[in-house]
Amino acid sequence: MITLNAHAKINLSLDVLNKRDDGYHNLKMIMQTLQLHDIITIQEIKSGIEIECDAPYVPSNNSNIAYKAAEILIQKFGLNAGVRIKIEKIIPVAAGLAGGSSDAAAVLKGMNNLFDLGMNQQQLMDIGKTIGADVPYCIVGGTALAEGIGEIITPLPKMDAIPVILIKPRFGVSTASVFKSLQIDKITDRPKTDLLIEALKNKDTNFIGKNLCNVLESVTVERYPLINKIKRDLMSKESMGSIMSGSGPTVFGLFEDDGIAKKAYDKINKNRVDCILTYITND
């Protein structure tokens, strides 16, 4: 039996470069792991794949992305065994925090150890990208540039472990529908990715906070103006910068130190259920 933490991520930046002939988009994103995590326990059983997950909106059958990850490995390596996978869901679902992708990445890594499959990180990433575009990043984790459809990963200088407040409005957003509504030629405000990377090298967290940028935000804000209200709320509580993560709807705010973040959290948490105080991590 093996237990792993499957961490959530945020996007410090998200740029959509163009649409490809295969329907996917070429992206350029700076990704960052958070302490917030699901807990995945994998146990060897005689045969089959069993998923145990009691979170609402998360399937416990073969449409769970963790099931797909296990199925691929069992087939690829002709394993004469099955797995029981328990998912303790803590990351908000359909939130832009890559919860599902991270669970799948943890299953690939966990089964690699449990069954001594001998795969290196690149081999795990190659399998991961057949499951979902964010899975290769979730295998690497930390601070990283993700390009292509998200599967080309370049590690970046680590960010300091500052506090992050996440606020998830009470609705989920489908990533596919956000990309469908995006008009690439109408994007005016794009992230300064190269300058953000420079700031990571210089540990200039202030610059990063001021220059967080996600081009998908305009699509989601048009549908749900609440996103802008949440950003303003976080900024009014001394956040260094606040944007939507991924395709949303989670909005996050970076904070300079724990004292400011805890004060902000206490005020916000009085009114909202889905408010989480977590930290940047590079685990």
What is the nearest approach in angstroms of ligand ATP to the Cβ of residue 276?
13
Cβ closer to ligand ATP: 74 or 107? 107
Query: Which residues, in sequence order, are CB contacts of 131 under 8 Å at separation 6+?
Result: 65, 68, 69, 72, 101, 104
The reply, when asked if residue 104 is annotated as ligand binding, is no
- Amino acid type, 201: K
Min CB(131)–ligand ATP separation in Å:
10
Here the tokens at position 155 are 């590690």
Q: 221-233 b/e with 16+ CB inside 10 Å = b? A: beebebbeebbeb
- Annotation marks residue 158 as catalytic: no
Window 164-183: contact mask with ligand ATP (x via CB under 6 A): --------x--x--------
3-state secondary structure of 120: coil
* 9 catalytically annotated: yes
Return the SS3 of 46: coil
Considering only residues 59, 82, 148, 157, which one is a binding residue for ligand ATP as defined by CB under 6 A?
A: 59
Closest approach, Cβ 78 to ligand ATP, in A, equals: 25
Say which of 103, 134, 233, 237 is annotated catalytic: 134
Among 21, 57, 188, 273, binds ligand ATP (CB under 6 A): 57
92 is in an annotated binding site: yes
For 266-283, b where at least 16 C-beta lie within 10 A, e where not — what string?
eebeeeeeebbbbebbee
Only one residue has tokens 């449409």, namely 63
Binding residue ranges for ATP: 92-102
Q: Could you list the active site residues?
A: 9, 134
Interface contacts to ligand ATP, rule CB under 6 A: 57-59, 64-66, 87, 93-101, 103, 134, 172, 175, 246-247
The binding site consists of 92-102
